[in-house]
Structure 1
Amino acid sequence: MALCNKLGSLLRQSAARSGHVPVGSMLNYVRCMSSSKLFIGGLSYGVDDQSLRDAFTSFGDVVEARVITDRDTGRSRGFGFVNFSSDESASSALSAMDGQELNGRNIRVSYANDRPPRPRSFGGGGGYGGGGYGRDDGGFGNPSF
């Protein structure tokens, strides 16, 4: 929380001098104030959910620690997420762990961004002709039907 207070103070000073606050800085300040989920990048392939949790528990109560894996191979994709019960714990973990070594690799720690919803598509989309249902050529790129 001290980091957020310091950042807020710097933003106010910057606004007083220039007359405006940079949008990017303000967004980071808001994110800092209300985010308890961290993105962890650059993970070694040997890191699993438990070792990720263990690396971050000294900063506060870890609600969830998850290494993202490839659905086909089950192998780590080299990144994961740690969710804390409080924003203060997440902030101190970010400050202390960003750039530090974990299992032989320097990790990158930042606040996690919400993933935008993916548009849903119904029907079609596949096939050999790049199309699908409702096409004038009979579907699947074969006009001889």
Structure 2
Amino acid sequence: MSTYVQVCEDENEEPMELPLEVDGGLLLSTVVGQFPGASGVKYRSSSSAFRGVRLLDGVLHLPEDGWNNVFICVFPKENKRKSDDVLESLSKTKRMEKYHKCSDLIVLGLPWKTTEQQLREYFESFGEVLMAQVKKDVKTGQSKGFGFIRFGRYESQLRVLAQRHNIDGRTCDVKIPNSKDGSGQPLSSKIFVGRCTENITADDMRTFFSQFGEVTDVFIPKPFRAFGFVTFLDPNVAQVLCGEDHIIKGTSIHISSAAPKQDSRMGGPFGRGGGGGGGG
């Protein structure tokens, strides 16, 4: 009789050999020592169905087919649910991570006189500036009235995008050059939360959605109309959540975009008025 048995956590994983006792039994503690949380083992029989191994007084007893199969750990359903929740959380985290990268930002409406050094110095108040560039005419060397910046930290980028700026006495806008919809319009930071119940308060929503990103506003209409709005600092958080269902206080809510319809009359990639600079 073999003194070892092959055990794995999942059917598609490499098995590990665990020692059997003198009487041919397998201690559950031996299994748990290598696979924490396991409550038993099973194997696939000749009929392709899974068969469980009898557990008595902490010992897994020799199955009728012997120990020659590869045995798979069995975990309590509660642990399995926790494992699935962790995997779902990791999946969402990875989805968010791909958005949390700095990109080049376009600065529109720069005064003609603003230099690259002045542009850099202004935005350094928000965080480390990796790049600051004023676009100039190739022939004349004069500023075209716009430029580009890039930050070292994503949080700095968010703060800059969330407000308008006054540079050398002129109001300037900062945007991501190529937004998702291809129109040059900024992504919406607001989501529509549907299927709400009256026991869900604004504080409940703020607490729940804060796990995804910084919440700047929560609005629930009065009188109650079974929906609400949540606004994030980061518009990409809102975009990722759209289309998902979540549970708040035992109620399944559905999230969709709260972005207003685009005005087809807006012209050019930078909206009405284009990206030209001004005097000053």
TM-score after normalising by structure 1: 0.52
Looking at structure 2, the residues matched to 43 and 104 of structure 1 have their Cα atoms a distance apart, in angstroms, of 10
- 1:36–1:86 CA contact under 8 A, matched in 2: no
Specify the alignment match of 2:183 in structure 1: none
| Count of matched residue pairs | 84
Q: Deviations over 1:37-74 (max 9, x none)?
A: 21100000010100000110011110010000000000
> Structure 1 residues 34, 89: closer, same or farther in 2, change over 3 A?
same
Looking at structure 2, the residues matched to 52 and 34 of structure 1 have their Cα atoms a distance apart, in angstroms, of 22
Looking at structure 1, the residues matched to 98 and 162 of structure 2 have their Cα atoms a distance apart, in angstroms, of 14
Correspondence list, 1:92-111, <5 A:
92-96=159-163, 98=164, 100-111=165-176
Specify the alignment match of 2:155 in structure 1: 88
1:59 aligns with 2:126: yes
Q: In the alignment, residue 111 of structure 1 is paired with which amino acid?
A: I
- 1:39–1:79 CA contact under 8 A, matched in 2: yes
Correspondence list, 1:1-145, <5 A:
33-96=100-163, 98=164, 100-113=165-178
Looking at structure 1, the residues matched to 134 and 98 of structure 2 have their Cα atoms a distance apart, in angstroms, of 22
Instruction: State the SS of the aligned residue for 1:107.
Output: strand
Q: Which has the higher contact order (CA 8 A, sep 6+)?
A: 1
* Percent identity for Structure 1 against Structure 2: 36
> Structure 1 residues 104, 31: closer, same or farther in 2, change over 3 A?
farther
- 2:102–2:150 CA contact under 8 A, matched in 1: no
- 1:40–1:82 CA contact under 8 A, matched in 2: yes
Looking at structure 2, the residues matched to 88 and 76 of structure 1 have their Cα atoms a distance apart, in angstroms, of 29
CA positional deviation for 1:30 = 9.2
Q: Deviations over 1:4-45 (max 9, x none)?
A: xxxxxxxxxxxxxxxxxxxxxxxxx99963333211000000
Q: Specify which structure has the higher proportion of helix.
A: 1
TM-score after normalising by structure 2: 0.28
- 1:37–1:90 CA contact under 8 A, matched in 2: no
Q: In the alignment, residue 152 of structure 2 is paired with which amino acid?
A: S
Looking at structure 2, the residues matched to 47 and 59 of structure 1 have their Cα atoms a distance apart, in angstroms, of 18
Structure 1 unaligned blocks of 5 or more? 1-28, 115-145
- 1:39–1:110 CA contact under 8 A, matched in 2: yes
Looking at structure 2, the residues matched to 106 and 90 of structure 1 have their Cα atoms a distance apart, in angstroms, of 18
Q: Which has more radius of gyration?
A: 2
CA positional deviation for 1:113 = 2.9
CA positional deviation for 1:88 = 1.4
- 1:34–1:87 CA contact under 8 A, matched in 2: yes
Q: Specify which structure has the higher proportion of strand.
A: 2
